[in-house]
Homo-oligomer: A and B are copies of this chain.
């Protein structure tokens, strides 16, 4: 089969930047090893061509699952990369998506155009094909900005967490140390934490208090024009 148009058309792809977090380790990103040219055998973001019968959002979900096995992830649109020389084959415009997930619930399984799928710490990335390094940097910047103004971090922690665990999450994403007193002051001032009246179990150090995020209150506060900021 072939498909004919009156004017030439750019090809349209999707690319997915999936960040993985677990309290004990560094922030990671999900990469695949390409099975086909261009950049055969090299690492890149999972992604591929948008089919005419699917929405662009659906294409991102499908490509991520096909190439890495990762499903049930909320992919948010990041930015569309539309410059001329992105792909050595031909003119390709790519709509990029990003997501932040807990490392635990997502076993990897490479298939279709990917010969391997792995989590990489941001500090030890391989070189990436296409302009995927630029797409990744754009996603990191968006994540850093977003975590300050929306409580997305809480989804990555256990239901009951310590203030230190939360601070470590912010420090990993922002890639800098935060002042403990200042962080706690801002956090407690928003009054969005529930004191569970429980403490950590079986820890070597002094057991810290466990908190939960008050989602119901946050939703109510947002309606009144409240802005989360941390």
Q: Which residues of A come within 8 Å of B, CB atoms? A: 1-12, 49-57, 59, 77, 79-80, 82-84, 91, 93, 95, 148-149, 227, 229
Contacts and interface: CB of A to CB of B under 8 A. Distances in A.
10 residue pairs, one from A and one from B, having the closest CB atoms: A56-B82, A3-B8, A8-B52, A9-B9, A80-B80, A4-B4, A52-B91, A55-B83, A2-B4, A80-B95
Nearest to A3: B8
Nearest to A145: B149
Q: How would you classify the secondary structure of chain A's contact residues: helix, strand, loop or mixed?
A: loop
Given A1-B6, A3-B7, A3-B9, 10 more contacts: A2-B5, A3-B6, A3-B8, A4-B5, A5-B5, A9-B52, A10-B12, A50-B93, A57-B83, A77-B79
Nearest to A91: B52
A59 B51 CA distance: 23
A85 to B, nearest CB: 10
